[in-house]
Chain A
Amino acid sequence: MKYADVVIVGGGPAGLAAAVRLYDMGIRDILILEREHSLGGILRQCIHDGFGLTRFGVSLSGPEYASRFIGEVEKRQIPYITDTTVIEITRDKLVTAAGEAGLLQVQAKAVILTMGCRERTRGALAIPGTRPAGVMTAGVAQAYINLQNRMIGKEVVILGSGDIGMIMARRLTLEGAHVIAVFEVMPVASGLPRNIEQCLNDYGIPLYLSHTVTDIKGTDRLESVTISQVDDHMQPIPGTEKEYACDTLILSVGLIPENELTLGAGASLDDHTKGALVDEFYQSDIPGIFAAGNVLHVHDLVDFVSMEAEALAEGAAAYVREGSLPECLVSVTAGDNVGHALPQKVSGERDFLLSLRPRRPMQDVRLKVSQGENIILERKMKKVLPAEMIQLKIRKEKLSREGSITVSISQ
């Protein structure tokens, strides 16, 4: 058995940023556990640029962005172990991981969960049809093309307008495949506007909103997909079916925080974010277990992942030093037109960063944060999109320790 002040589960952008900040705050007994052969997480396969504009003021590729943080970890000689998969975390913060060297057990004072997310699958959507080769998620296609030099198809249909799907539409086009179109079941794109411009419009790839795949054909390799238009309830409209011959169907239909270890430890999850319920210190409902980044809620920009993990480090450092954190009893709830709000609990005594996602695209709106009768913050916004997370700094001066906080958006 080993001991550590802090064990960080996952060496992607969130884990790395938390480690560096913790170190700089004087917490030195840190161990990062990473299941892949090298640090960097999903950024390793994101060779496109656009990372770091907020955090560093320059546009970097995924590996470049990751290498900045890996460099900081190396410089500080923060210990990390790769090729090692955490298989269990207990309520008492005993972390068990499997690696070639054996079964590693570390008793931590605090555990930081930065496992990221996984992609929603064909099975999760119950897409009907046969089960041929050639149907895969955008992330799998990206890993094959960018990490393994394996080409995955020639005639491609993309379901879902998630960012990775659009980025893969461009990538596949550049590598000689023909991308027929991107189909999105919702009436709005789920990815960032900049990706619609740079990945689809610039390459003449059509985006069809309110459309979905209603059948898959082919016994060996994919032969065609049937696309239908959907109504306001996202139900396919009979008579609108159109069959597209293709050998590849790429799914970019959503990301789900990867919280099996979190559940195993006994922490509660939020039904909307699918991540842990956390307080303003990013602490779950198990004292000393923290979470940040895509394992907590899915972000659209890695810059915000890093910053969230850095903010988490403050709370985690205080927890390691003092053995507990102030109670957070004020709940934060998502009101009208807000999909989710985070953190779910605050103390009412400290500044905190409020993250939220609008439920639908709206223009000329008023975003309101209130506590009972008391309006904490009100902001006019020209345009809000579900694809773009909104973050607001909430000042302690306006807060009280009584009554729940509601975040809402209205026209």
Chain B
Amino acid sequence: MAGLNKQTASTQHNPFPRNWWVSGLWLVAAIYLVYSVNAMGLDWDRFTAGLGHADNLLSRMFPPNFSRWELLLEGLIESLEIAVISSVVGIFLSLFIGLLAARNFMPNWISTPVRGFIALCRSFHPVIIAILFVKSVGFGALAGILTLVIATIGFIAKLFAEAIEEISFKQVEAIRATGASFVSVILFAVMPQVFSRFIGFATYQFDSNLRNSTMVGIVGAGGLGGTLFSAFQRFDYDFVAAILITIIALILFWEFLSTLVRRIF
């Protein structure tokens, strides 16, 4: 033991020296924040003036107006259909894409391009993809469905791939040793290990698709969002409130259902 009590002749380096670069970067970040607030013209007067407008909007929103319920219901049903179709198609495709992207099952020359494709699917916000699809396939639900299929693949295929990469390979080895075919190995050694996680990811993604299906309509890709946007433009704020309440009810209803689904699996 080197004696702790012994005085060493030379002073040792402090292992936690001040890093002037890091301190400088923090300072630059702080200056930039102050500059941005000034550049945007944000001050207290602007904030209080804004609150006044909000007060005006809220007073015109209440009471919500459900008199045009047929229009509301039509949008709601379309949104629900977009969410269901895009989730089923997207999750089904993701099962295969996820497997192709799993580096423990696929050689690099397959998994790397597939991973690139998944990253591409995830690189744009759904609004931007929706605009692209509205321009390429036209207004309506088809554009919305394609948008959310892409969004689903971008998210779920990656999670599926990661779940597959984390499995125990011992079970795979054992099933392979029985002479099972590749597909049987996937069915008996991989699926049992990842199935419950897949169910969790899928319910989460449906939740996300449900919200997004009420949004894609804003750019003309079908669903309740279109109804919401035109109500905004005509200053029908009481109808807007009705739509918002409907969306909240829809999401809460799914929340209730998904808790049930998770309890089953």
A and B held together in a complex: no
Chain A residues with a Cβ under 8 A of chain B: none
